[in-house]
Amino acid sequence: MKVSGAKIVVEVLVEQGCDTVFGYPGGQVIDLFDELYLSRDRIKQILTADEQGAAHAADGFARATGKVGVCIATSGPGATNLVTGIATAGLDSVPLVAVTGNVSCDLIGRDSFQEVDIVGITMPVTKHNFIVKDIRELADTLRTAFKIAKSGRPGPVLVDIPKDVQQAVWDFEPKPDPVRPYPLSFASEIKLRKAAELINNSKRPYIYFGGGVISGKASAEIIKLADRIDAPLGSSLMGLSAVPADHPRFLGMSGMHGHYASSQAQKEADLVIAMGARFSDRSTEIGGERSYRLIHIDIDNAELDKNVISDIAIQGDIKDALYRLLPMLSETSRPEWSERITQLREKEAELLEREKHTRLPKNCGGCTVNCGRADMPESEKLAPYDIIDTISSFASENDIIVTDVGQHQMWTAQRYPFKKPRTFLTSGGLGTMGFGLGAAIGASSATGRRTILFTGDGSFGMDLNELATSVSQNTPLVIVVMNNGVLGMVRQMQTLFHGERYSNTTLCRKTDFVKVAEAFGAKGGRANNLDELSALAEEAFAYSGTYLIDCMIDCNEMVAFSDEA
């Protein structure tokens, strides 16, 4: 069958199981979008407000489902707008295929209109990338892109297709099935035995897991492990939602802004069993002296002994490794350790209660708006945890929680009662402000489920153009803006480490997010206190489309550190 390159792209996308693409048209992808138009009954096309939004949406689509997300952009600025989204997906191991158009092969290298070397630009932020200059290689290159994206530790792959290759005509041979990932690597038996010996001999084991447990579908196995060896569970930011937040063994996120009990238990443990986590610089005690021994299991060999040196490093699929490890472990109870964990939990509750009654410092740092929020009695203020509790009381356990980046992200991570894997989508590695709205749209379009976006006035200012998309897609979306008028995360560091010099973190802009929402065709309302929030939440959760709640909070609110709870 002789068809155009553009048609080949569409046929391979369908063949690979892609049912939705996010993108933005342009001069060098006209042919591709023409074919997409003709195939609109087979592939849903979501036009975003800009290409960054498309990349985040494809990312959210992939995070919510585990499938490969696909985004399409034109050459030049279209392609460069994808870069942040691709890097975001890369650092959080999200399977993504980004397709870009480029100028025709004979114009490449001549600084043609809207020409950039996107393959060169994205080389360090993709798992792999391609430019296809020969139509004969187009179909197989796209198939390989999907294969790489979903194999082993998933990641983003970019395929750059010059316009003349989209227009060229060549034979296309359809394949009946999507490509299979490369074979998984499996843990070595000897190392598993050594690990079992360490675990059986440990007095205070602690299980630390990351996002790899979600992509490796090993939630049930880590709970079995915890039960069998009577150990607490803690996670990285990316690991959240892998086990129910209210699971009796789960102590919550550990690390810089993690739960006190979780981080403390990790410090006091004599053995940490880490799985699908890469010990980023935000995790507990990175770089410091540690008193525990470490078993590290990961699908990516390069993560082992990269940031922390382990005692036993095991490369392999986590689900398989645990399945084989469990029978080697003696069923033990560790009453002393359990007792200590209980104490730590009690201490955490105590610290949390104490913090509630600590008056926030009053410092509006040169803000001229004089919102008066800092002077309000504490009891009348809208507190971040109360916002999260109220919203979660309206939400169902299938709703997908998405965040942007900043204080609201950490509050959500600390507080939200996640129940099921893939219901918490956040930019953990790259920390991309402006990730949230695009990702929420992608997640909702993939699953048809309601999505809740927790964001801040800083982050939301970076992605609010995607309101246009969520309204036109009629996305069931509740946007909760924790509006403190400042860039809170940076501001809190300025409070603590930079002598309260609030350089460029005081926004206090005149932007009215409720009117913004309405202007885009969404609904919205402002909450100054809990009663108003409840009333708005009721309306928001009854509404089928996009609803924004602008929550006014004190700019002096801080995210707790794990060492002080």
Residues that bind another protein (CB under 8 A): 119-120, 123-124, 127-128, 131, 148, 300-302, 304-306, 309
Catalytic residue among 45, 114, 306, 328: 114
Contact 269, 292 (CB under 8 A): yes
Provide the total of helices (H) and of strands (E) in the chain, helices listed first.
21, 20
Contact 56, 438 (CB under 8 A): yes
> Least distance (Å) from another protein to the CB of residue 454?
32
The 3 state secondary structure assigned to 226-292 is HHHHCCCEEECHHHCCCCCCCCCCEEEECCCCCCHHHHHHHHHCCEEEEECCCCCCCCCCCCCCCCC
Contact 22, 69 (CB under 8 A): yes
Concatenated DSSP letters of 26-87: -GGGHHHHHHHHHTTTTSEEEE-SSHHHHHHHHHHHHHHHSSPEEEEE-STHHHHHHHHHHH
Take residue 444 and report the two structure tokens written for it.
């909702």
Cβ burial of 377 (10 Å; 0-12, 13-18, 19+) is exposed
Active-site residue 51, yes or no?
yes
Q: How far apart are CA 61 and CA 80, in angstroms?
A: 21
Catalytic residue among 51, 115, 466, 557: 51
The nearer residue to another protein, 131 or 265, going by C-beta atoms, is 131
Catalytic residue among 1, 113, 189, 538: 113
The nearer residue to another protein, 135 or 508, going by C-beta atoms, is 135
> Least distance (Å) from another protein to the CB of residue 533?
45
> Least distance (Å) from another protein to the CB of residue 123?
6
Interhelix angle 407-415/384-394, nearest 10 degrees: 60
384: CB partners within 8 A, 6+ apart: 407, 408, 411, 415, 482, 553, 557
Closest to 511 in 3D by CA, of 534, 488, 485: 485
Beta bridge partners of 425: 402
The nearer residue to another protein, 304 or 453, going by C-beta atoms, is 304
> Least distance (Å) from another protein to the CB of residue 144?
8
Q: How far apart are CA 537 and CA 430, in angstroms?
A: 31
The nearer residue to another protein, 274 or 425, going by C-beta atoms, is 274
The nearer residue to another protein, 304 or 425, going by C-beta atoms, is 304
Q: How far apart are CA 313 and CA 309, in angstroms?
A: 8
Active-site residue 489, yes or no?
yes
> Least distance (Å) from another protein to the CB of residue 137?
10
Contact 72, 99 (CB under 8 A): yes
Active-site residue 328, yes or no?
no
> Least distance (Å) from another protein to the CB of residue 296?
13
Q: How far apart are CA 437 and CA 402, in angstroms?
A: 8
The nearer residue to another protein, 131 or 507, going by C-beta atoms, is 131
The nearer residue to another protein, 305 or 378, going by C-beta atoms, is 305
Catalytic residue among 127, 147, 163, 381: 163
Catalytic residue among 253, 256, 433, 489: 489
Closest to 261 in 3D by CA, of 333, 180, 348, 331: 348
The nearer residue to another protein, 157 or 223, going by C-beta atoms, is 157
> Least distance (Å) from another protein to the CB of residue 500?
34
State the greatest distance between any 2 C-alpha atoms of the chain, in Å, as a whole number.
Answer: 73
Q: How far apart are CA 358 and CA 378, in angstroms?
A: 9
The nearer residue to another protein, 131 or 551, going by C-beta atoms, is 131
> Least distance (Å) from another protein to the CB of residue 130?
9
> Least distance (Å) from another protein to the CB of residue 110?
17
How far does CA 460 lie from the centroid of its chain? Answer: 16
Q: Which residues are catalytic?
A: 51, 113-114, 163, 489
